[in-house]
Amino acid sequence: MGRKLVLGVFAGVSLALAACRTERSSSPPGLAAAQPILLDVARSWRVLDGGEVLGIVVQFENEPRRGQPRSTCFSVQNVLQQELGRIDGLGRAWRHEPHEREPLWVGTGTVIEGARAILGASPNAVLDETFIRADRTPDR
């Protein structure tokens, strides 16, 4: 009986240890000090290609804190105002790809060059500035 008890305890401990799970996670250094930046809509443009509206570019920027640079980025959207990509303040353009975790870098240049690359527009596409209504959507 003593041997059965020892085997039972050993089996119970083995099962308990086998059921234990350890998880480990890490975060980038300095993440706790990261602060979000509030960006406001500053300007917007329609992207026209051969007279057809292909999309919208919306410029977002913040009020810089003392000693900090102004942050600017551009959202490139389709005519339904769904974001297809972004252009940062340095002119780097990324397009969101379906089912991909990270956006695809499509080029670096001016805002119109980035918008053309994101929207798949021709080299003849131009920006036509629109005015932002009170509800912050561009006029068409």
Q: Which residues pair with 105 in a beta bridge?
A: 94
pLDDT, mean of each 10-residue run, the chain (140 residues): 62 62 78 79 94 95 79 94 95 95 95 97 95 60
pLDDT at residue 88, as a whole number: 94
Q: Which residues have C-beta within 8 Å of that of residue 64, sequence separation ≥ 6?
A: 70, 71
Res 64: pLDDT: 76
Contact 62, 51 (CB under 8 A): no
Pair type for strands 92-95 and 104-108: antiparallel
HSE at residue 128, side-chain half, CA atoms within 13 A, is 15
Domain residues of the chain, as ranges?
Answer: 37-130
What's the number of CA atoms in the CB half-sphere (13 Å) around residue 58? Answer: 20
pTM, to two decimals:
0.69
Which pLDDT score, from 0 to 100, does residue 5 have? Answer: 63
pLDDT on residue 66: 79
β-pair type (40-49, 104-108): unpaired
Of residues 53, 100, 105, 50, the one with CA closest to residue 79: 53
